[in-house]
Amino acid sequence: MQTVTIAGSEVPAIGLGTWNMGDEPSLQTQEINAIHAGLAAGAKVIDTAEMYGSGRAETLVGKAIKDVPRDQLYLISKVLPTNASKNRMERSLDASLKRLGVDEVDLYLYHWRGQIPLSETVAELQRLTTIGKTKAWGISNFDVTDLEELWQLPDGPKAAANEDLFNLGSRGVEYSLLGWQADHHLPFIAYSPVGAPGQLDTHLGSDPDVLKVAKRHQATAYQILLAWVVSHQQVLAIPQSSNPDLAKENVLAGDIQLTADDRRVLDKAYPAPTEKLPLDVL
């Protein structure tokens, strides 16, 4: 299983997303089982946010992890832009910690840029790290120009990761962002790594070329999509599945090694960017 190191913590390169989970009471048992199946298959990272279901995803995660030893988990949560201020952020993080049932998260991300000055947000993220409510902080939906601005701030280079949309059908970040992050030792967290079917009009999971590569590895198309994402250095993927069998299958994709010929097939179907593209967001 490939790994990624974030602020000194080495974690398996495929974790678990939680957006749209925890909303429907009748699905709770199945969703908790999906989180347990992903963890049993070797995942450590769980990605959530105060935004998801207005806290319901964090509450679901809290129920799922209550009997899991804390050192077997790497918990990521995120603060909404409107709460990313000196006056409001700590209250947001305290509420997230309460819902999750833990004393600290491992990584606290600024979910996306809003109106609060970046300097104020970063100072508060750093303060909450210093007082031990999160082990590290980072950002999400930042492009190269945002990161360059961040790096000008006194504590900016203390950011531990940036989380952006990245999958085989959305490769814009490969043009310059991934290289910038590698040069600055900033790990990349890939959201919507299987193309967010259901929310986006993507059909990566039924693409004939992806299926062709999948057949070679006796894998599913979704596993190939994930193996491809995490084949990039210091890239963590956080697929979301509410289905225990699929959650397990997703995590096990971290063991698949794509060959040069697999890459040729995938690159031909989904070419790498040849120019800077606007950052895709969901």
Ligand X SMILES: NC(=O)c1ccc[n+]([C@@H]2O[C@H](COP(=O)([O-])OP(=O)(O)OC[C@H]3O[C@@H](n4cnc5c(N)ncnc54)[C@H](OP(=O)(O)O)[C@@H]3O)[C@@H](O)[C@H]2O)c1
Contact residues for ligand X (CB under 6 A)?
Answer: 17-19, 47, 111-112, 140-141, 163, 191-199, 205, 222, 238-243, 246, 249-250, 282
Q: Measured between alpha carbons, how far is 19 from 238 in angstroms, rounded to an integer?
A: 10
Alpha helices, DSSP H, located in 101-161: 118-130, 144-151
The 8-class DSSP code of residue 205 comes to: G
Q: Is 111 annotated as a binding residue?
A: yes
Closest C-alpha to 13, from 256, 185, 195, 264: 256
Tokens 């749209």 — which residue?
20
Provide the token pair at 123: 């100072």
Q: Give the nearest distance from C-beta 275 to ligand X in angstroms.
A: 24
Cβ–Cβ under 8 Å, residues 199 and 185: no
Using a 10 angstrom Cβ sphere, with 0-12 exposed, 13-18 middle and 19 or more buried, the burial of residue 191 is buried
* Residue 14: count of CB within 10 angstroms of its CB: 31
> Smallest distance, Å, CB 127 to ligand X?
22
Choose, from 52, 74, 110, 191, the residue flagged as catalytic. 52
* Beta-bridge mates of residue 12: 3
Query: Can you read off the two tokens belonging to residue 261?
Result: 């010929």
DSSP 108: E
What is the rounded distance in angstroms from the CA atom of residue 182 to the CA atom of residue 132?
Answer: 27
- Alpha-carbon distance of 24 to 245, in angstroms, equals 19
Q: In angstroms, give the least distance from the CB of 109 to ligand X.
A: 7
Smallest distance from ligand X to CB 263, Å: 20
Q: Respond yes or no: is residue 52 known to be catalytic.
A: yes
Is residue 135 within 8 A of residue 106, CB to CB? The reply is yes
Q: At its nearest, how many Å lie between ligand X and the CB of residue 266?
A: 16
What one-character-per-residue DSSP string does 46-75 give? EE--TTGGGGHHHHHHHHHHTTS-GGG-EE
Active site residues: 52
**Residues comprising the binding site for substrate?**
111
